[in-house]
Amino acid sequence: MTSEERREKIIVSLERSNSPLTGSYLAKLYNVSRQVIVQDIAILRAAGYDIIATPQGYLIPRASQPRRITRVFAVKHGTDDIKDELNTIVDHGGRILDVIIEHPVYGEFKASLMMSSRSDVSAYLAAMQKLEAEPLSKLTEGVHLHTVEADSIVTLNQIEKALEQKGYLLS
């Protein structure tokens, strides 16, 4: 199989999948290294494909999915509170799309998270611990933004109230 054929098959796999596909899974599926998949994804993105990398794997957003309402929450807390903050959002029915920080030198940093359950939060935190990674908010003394989506404004209001009660929300 040529690299072009593999990339075409990767697109088909991502379009057919109901959940994110990991680089390792795709590598096994197409009998190549994970690094080859990373390069393929970069080439596909450069070619205009809307592929999102999340902690759970790669995905192509579906236009047919019902639109949900989003709100950006500005929060601040220490690294010990990450799990509680993220679980608070997903427990109230939110899906955490990303984390954003404003760096004084480099400007905006944005990373896709796509977390909608406690298991997503646990997997994210386990990966951070395994890789000894620091959260982006470490660069901004704990200040960061999350874009959160939900089915209704009521749900977003409940999330906001819960974050405020816990002292995470910036006013």
HEC per residue, 48-115:
CCCCEEECCEEECCCCCCCCCEEEEEEEECCHHHHHHHHHHHHHCCCEEEEEEEEECCCEEEEEEEEE
What's the token pair of residue 121? 């939060």
All domains of the chain in start order, with CATH: 3-59 (1.10.10.10), 69-165 (3.30.1340.20)
- Structure-token match 């944005």, residue found: 110
In this predicted structure, what is the pLDDT of residue 67?
62
Answering whether pTM is above 0.75, one says no
In this predicted structure, what is the pLDDT of residue 139?
85
Contact 163, 89 (CB under 8 A): yes
In this predicted structure, what is the pLDDT of residue 44?
92
Handedness of CA 122, 123, 125, 130 (dihedral sign): positive
Residue 102: what are its φ and ψ, rounded to 5°? -110, 105
Q: What are the residue ranges in the chain where pLDDT is below 70?
A: 63-67
Q: What is the largest CA-CA distance in the chain?
A: 56
pLDDT digits (tens, 9 = 90+) for 106-125: 899 999 999 999 999 999 99
Strand pairing report for 107-115 and 95-103? antiparallel
In this predicted structure, what is the pLDDT of residue 171?
76
In this predicted structure, what is the pLDDT of residue 54?
86
